[in-house]
Amino acid sequence: MKRAIVLVLDSFGIGAAADADKFGDQGSDTLGNIAAACQQGKADIGRQGPLTLPNLATLGLFHAHQESTGQLAAGVSLPTEVLGSYGYAKEISSGKDTPSGHWELAGVPVLFEWGYFLQTENSFPAELIDDLVRQAKLPGILGNKHASGTTILEQLGEEHIHTGKPVCYTSADSVFQIAAHEQHFGLERLYQLCEIARELLMPYNIGRVIARPFVGESAAEFARTGNRRDYSIAPPAPTVLQKLVEEQQGQVVSIGKIADIYAHVGITRKVKATGMDALFDATLSELGRAGNNTLIMTNFVDFDSSFGHRRNIAGYAAELEAFDRRLPELLALLAPDDLLILTADHGCDPSWKGTEHTREHVPVLCLGAGLSAGSLGLRGTFADVGQSLAHYFGTSAMDYGTSFL
């Protein structure tokens, strides 16, 4: 029986990539800088002391990080024995955004340039906003700049409630984000607005429109909800997900944001869950019912959206430790032929300047399917994951990547 479980720890980089300087990210290291802060006692909120990840360590996480950076992460304990095959992968896609990272993991790197809104203020062309306001019958928009999604709610959330104008913002990523209140503006209305924006943004080559619903009545209370929805363009070529479904009549189970990221292409079942524990619970229960030729893919978004972008080191460390504590539950369910892969789609170093992603290597931690324990070394593209899945499931080969199976 062939079953693969791919867990994407959204933004869990393990050291700056060779081309990090092109992104201003030389020296970024999501895992390493979190571990250093923990060891220095600078991440003692809701947790204590050195970073403790015994189960990830057994899969080879700290070994992979050490190979990636040349240094052992500060204050961590190496396991007596490594059970998994571990490596670190570099990204060949032009951007460090989520769709690029994910699609490359699935065997389809993004070698073209996305469109970006480069101006940090007045970011959007007037024509685009005029069309959006007219087609969606809006009184106008707020924002129109680069922003952190939580900061801009503190600044403009109340004005949004009073005026009915949605908050539109962007970042260094190829995104158009729309924040609106779930009740005052309406969740369905926000989704409809995003669909209009998705159409209008096609000529601008923007990767994603993101609905950012929130609740609360004042700046101090505003909280974004799990009803976020991403409107991505479709991957530029068939991913390994799509090949598994079309060539092997396989099943691809999306848990969390996966289906949205792949524009719902190559997905046979979608499970929504909010928060790390719920995502983990869903992964376990889907594994319990998974039959032959099934790929279960889960995106643990909170590492990125709740901690990485928020530059919350202690929160990121606590979330990693909580994830690590749950890993034995998953390992106990694995059959010998199953293939488990833990990886990430980019970095988002919470100790770094600004609030953006960081260009980093990602971990590739594998267990099962006859793999022997030890190093897989530097993987030349994230697509090695997709090529390995293609090999495992016996689909036609991907155009990029080298299988480690």
Ligand X SMILES: O=P(O)(O)O[C@H]1O[C@H](CO)[C@@H](O)[C@H]1O
* Numbered residues of the known binding site for Mn(2+): 10, 304, 309, 345-346, 357
- Using CB under 6 A, which of 5, 92, 175, 194 touches ligand X? 175
Contacts of 110 (CB under 8 A, 6+ apart): 93, 94, 95, 99, 100, 103, 104, 236
Work out the angle at residue 56's Cα, subtended by the Cα atoms of residues 377 and 373, and round it to the nearest 5 degrees: 45
Interface region with ligand X, contact rule CB under 6 A, candidates 61-69, 126-134, 169-177, 361-369: 169-177
Interface region with ligand X, contact rule CB under 6 A, candidates 46-54, 116-124, 171-179, 266-274: 171-179
Task: Read off the DSSP letter of residue 294.
Answer: E
Check residue 213 for interaction with ligand X (CB under 6 A).
no
143 binds, among ligand X, Mn ion, none (CB under 5 to 8 A by kind): none
**Separation of alpha carbons 123 and 144, rounded Å:** 6
HSE-up of residue 222 (Cα within 13 Å, Cβ side)? 23
- Using CB under 5 A, which of 345, 349, 356, 384 touches Mn ion? 345
Q: What size, in residues, is the chain?
A: 405
CB closer to Mn ion out of 91 and 338? 91
Binding string, residues 145-164; x marks residues near ligand X by CB under 6 A: ---xx---------------
- Nearest alpha carbon to residue 102 among 343, 359, 390, 380: 343
Q: Is the dihedral of CA 320, 301, 254, 383 positive or negative?
A: negative
**Residue 223 in 3-state DSSP?**
strand
Check residue 309 for interaction with ligand X (CB under 6 A).
yes
CB closer to ligand X out of 106 and 172? 172
**Residue 396 in 3-state DSSP?**
coil
- Nearest alpha carbon to residue 108 among 393, 405, 390: 390
166 binds, among ligand X, Mn ion, none (CB under 5 to 8 A by kind): none
Place of tokens 């039959």: 291
CB closer to Mn ion out of 10 and 321? 10
Binding string, residues 262-301; x marks residues near ligand X by CB under 6 A: ----------------------------------------
**Alpha-carbon distance values, 327 to 7, 31, 47, 262 (Å):** 11, 18, 19, 26
- Using CB under 6 A, which of 69, 93, 177, 239 touches ligand X? 177
Binding residues for ligand X, rule CB under 6 A, total 10
Diameter over CA atoms, the chain: 64
**Residue 232 in 3-state DSSP?**
strand
174 binds, among ligand X, Mn ion, none (CB under 5 to 8 A by kind): none
CA-based R_g, the chain, Å: 21
Check residue 305 for interaction with ligand X (CB under 6 A).
yes
10 binds, among ligand X, Mn ion, none (CB under 5 to 8 A by kind): Mn ion
Beta carbon of residue 334, minimum distance to Mn ion (angstroms, whole number): 25
Binding string, residues 332-361; x marks residues near ligand X by CB under 6 A: -----------------------x------
Check residue 98 for interaction with Mn ion (CB under 5 A).
yes
Check residue 324 for interaction with Mn ion (CB under 5 A).
no
Q: Are 259 and 128 in contact (CB under 8 A)?
A: no
Residue nearest to Mn ion (CB): 98
Check residue 98 for interaction with ligand X (CB under 6 A).
yes
Check residue 257 for interaction with ligand X (CB under 6 A).
no
CA dihedral 255, 310, 168, 209 (to 10 degrees): -30
Q: Are 316 and 307 in contact (CB under 8 A)?
A: yes
Q: Which residues bind ligand X (CB under 6 A)?
A: 98, 148-149, 171, 173, 175, 177, 305, 309, 355
